[in-house]
Amino acid sequence: MSLHGTDFSEISAYPEEISPFCRLVQENPKAKMQCVYTDADAFERARHSGKIYIYRCRFGLCEAACPLYKNGVLSGYLMMGQVRDGLPGTDAAVISEALPYVSDRPELEKAVSSLPSVPREKMLALAKVIDRTAAKYDLDVIVTPQYTDLRMIAENTERIHVYAQHMDYLPAGRGLGSVLPEAVKAAGAVGVMLNHAEKKLTLSEIEKTIKRADEVGLATIVCADTVEELCACARLSPNLLVAEPTELIGTGSTAGDNYVKATIRAVKEINPDIMVLQGAGISNGKDVYDTIKLGAMATGSTSGIIRAQDPYAMVEEMLSNLRRAWDELH
């Protein structure tokens, strides 16, 4: 925790020493400058809104900046953070972002593991909120937890549909380190996501994996970027396609109206039975409402919920707007 003046300069901090991770990364001048820019932007956003601003630092850690006022006049800022969010894959993502600036990987991994983390139970709590809200608005909601959390989420929720983030098409037998379709099914998942921007597959691999999913009784979601990729994937007959411009993922910027309409039209011309979900950049209820009104049958968000000041309230906001948009159209 640190106290800063109105010019963003640090006045005091507790503890006085920054975390081992930040110290290690900021030994690189370029990385340190990126941290300065990110913090300055957070202070500016907090000043503009007049309330706490929660965000991720340049390397993926959770932080918060809060403006401090005395007699209605801005007198400084309080900064808190350097915390892992506890979600699966976070440590690997932080390490990946930091590696270009740190030469000693073992030391980097040690520094990341020493950072405080949000308890895993919070993920289950969020899943339960989504579950109750889905039932409240009579909606089908898909969640995609890490493999190790599939059973926990599936056994503690009733309305949401639990999908794995990926799986391999190999048959039972050899394949150390691969994700067996039967294992995904046994863990309680009812479907699987394929070809996400962070886990790209070839068309041949997608086709083989869809076939294996069909064999074991798992539904399939396939992610695609361009209209051309969506069309190619549509010909493989997944249950649902995610139209998601890679460059917009996690940015808070949504795809334009033309992209939404073009992708829906292209998929429906090939196979009208495939649901088309519009993703990337969905940050709030208005984004959900606007996307559904454009003709999407579904939409999705990860960072928009996880990075929200109140993730539980954001779930309510998004799902209520989905219900409203759907009812207005039907």
What b-and-e string marks burial along 170-197, b requiring 16 or more CB atoms within 10 Å of the CB? eeeeeeeeebbbebbbebbbbbbbbbbb
Asked whether 280 and 267 are in contact (CB, 8 A), the reply is: no
In this structure, are residues 267 and 228 in contact, taking their beta carbons and an 8 Å threshold? no
Active-site positions read 196, 244
8 A C-beta contact, residue 234 and residue 269: no
Q: Give the type of residue at 31.
A: A
Whole-angstrom distance, CA of residue 247 vs CA of residue 63: 24
163-166 CB contacts, 8 Å cutoff, 24+ apart: 163/189, 163/190, 163/191, 163/192, 163/193, 163/219, 163/221, 164/189, 164/191, 164/192, 164/193, 165/192, 165/193, 165/196, 165/199, 166/192, 166/193, 166/194, 166/196, 166/199
- 3-state percent helix, strand, coil for the chain, nearest multiple of 5: 45, 20, 35
Closest-CA residue to 291 (of 308, 310, 276) = 276
| Identity of residue 180 | L
Q: What angle do CA 19, 25, 28 make, to 5 degrees?
A: 140
Q: How far apart are CA 171 and CA 216, in angstroms?
A: 11
* 309/54 Cα distance (integer angstroms): 6
